[in-house]
């Protein structure tokens, strides 16, 4: 380039134009990344759905896998006392987290400890079994709530992808050393005041609950699964 071009107004204008275009491209790209990032797990799930091998209910895993999980879990029980925030009930909240009680949903990569507690603060520790509902060993309606966007995939302790479940899909609960397999029979969206979803039932079911739409607490996504005999 001729050194005199540095002082050429046309050259300077062209260079400025290129810089503006480059800056616009960078800002546009950053904008796209910021918009897409929160929804990337859903986009990734749609583009590359996991290949799931369906498990036949009642057929146990190999003894080696069972022993390995027992060793990892080690029958560990943790009790944590917390003070709820302004959105929870007054008083303290005792959270009991046991590694032997698990919720496992293979289709969406969920493997969460089921925790016991008296307020919504319990949700920060895992899948919260609502205290006014049943337990898998007793039958009836066991209701379990989980955070949807406090954690995101590939974390296993999130209901982020709960909306990807369909009727006929299966999930499992390990409760006090015994496995309970469920098949999804109903999916609905209700308001936070529709507490009838917690009503007891004659059949043994599990009700999974999380917020919807994504990044909102406007409604509740409710997934019901019936025990597979």
Q: Is 147 assigned a catalytic role?
A: yes
Q: Is 211 assigned a catalytic role?
A: yes
Q: 128: closest CA among 114, 140, 138?
A: 114
| Catalytic residue (one of 129, 147, 148, 152) | 147
| Catalytic residue (one of 17, 148, 152, 211) | 211
Q: 137: closest CA among 100, 162, 168?
A: 100
Longest dimension (CA), the chain: 90
Structure tokens at 57: 């209910």
Q: 114: closest CA among 90, 89, 137, 87?
A: 137
Phi, psi dihedral angles at 68 (to 5 degrees): -65, -45
Distance CA 132, CA 195 (A): 11
Q: Is 119 exposed, middle or buried (0-12, 13-18, 19+ CB in 10 A)?
A: buried
Q: Is 152 assigned a catalytic role?
A: no
Instruction: Judge contact between 94 and 81, C-beta under 8 A.
Output: yes
Residue with the two structure tokens 């800056």: 23
Active site positions, annotated = 147, 211, 220
């Amino acid at each position: 380039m001729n050194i005199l071009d540095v002082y050429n107004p046309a050259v300077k204008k062209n260079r400025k134009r290129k810089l503006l275009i480059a800056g616009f491209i960078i800002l546009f790209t950053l904008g796209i990344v910021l918009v897409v990032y929160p929804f990337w797990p859903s986009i990734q799930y749609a583009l590359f759905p996991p290949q799931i091998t369906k498990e036949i209910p009642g057929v146990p895993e190999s003894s080696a896998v069972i022993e390995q999980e027992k060793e990892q879990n080690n029958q560990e029980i943790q009790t944590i006392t917390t003070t709820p925030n302004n959105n929870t009930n007054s008083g303290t909240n005792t959270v009991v987290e046991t590694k032997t009680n698990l919720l496992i949903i293979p289709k969406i990569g969920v493997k969460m400890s089921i925790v016991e507690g008296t307020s919504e603060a319990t949700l920060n520790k895992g899948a919260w079994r609502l205290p006014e509902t049943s337990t898998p060993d007793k039958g009836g309606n066991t209701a379990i709530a989980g955070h949807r966007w406090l954690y995101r995939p590939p974390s296993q302790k999130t209901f982020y992808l709960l909306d990807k479940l369909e009727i006929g899909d299966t999930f499992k609960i390990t409760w006090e050393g015994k496995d309970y397999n469920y098949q999804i029979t109903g999916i609905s969206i209700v308001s936070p005041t529709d507490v009838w979803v917690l009503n007891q039932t004659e059949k043994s079911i599990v009700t999974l609950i999380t917020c919807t739409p994504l990044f909102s607490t406007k409604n509740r996504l409710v997934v019901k699964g019936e025990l597979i005999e």
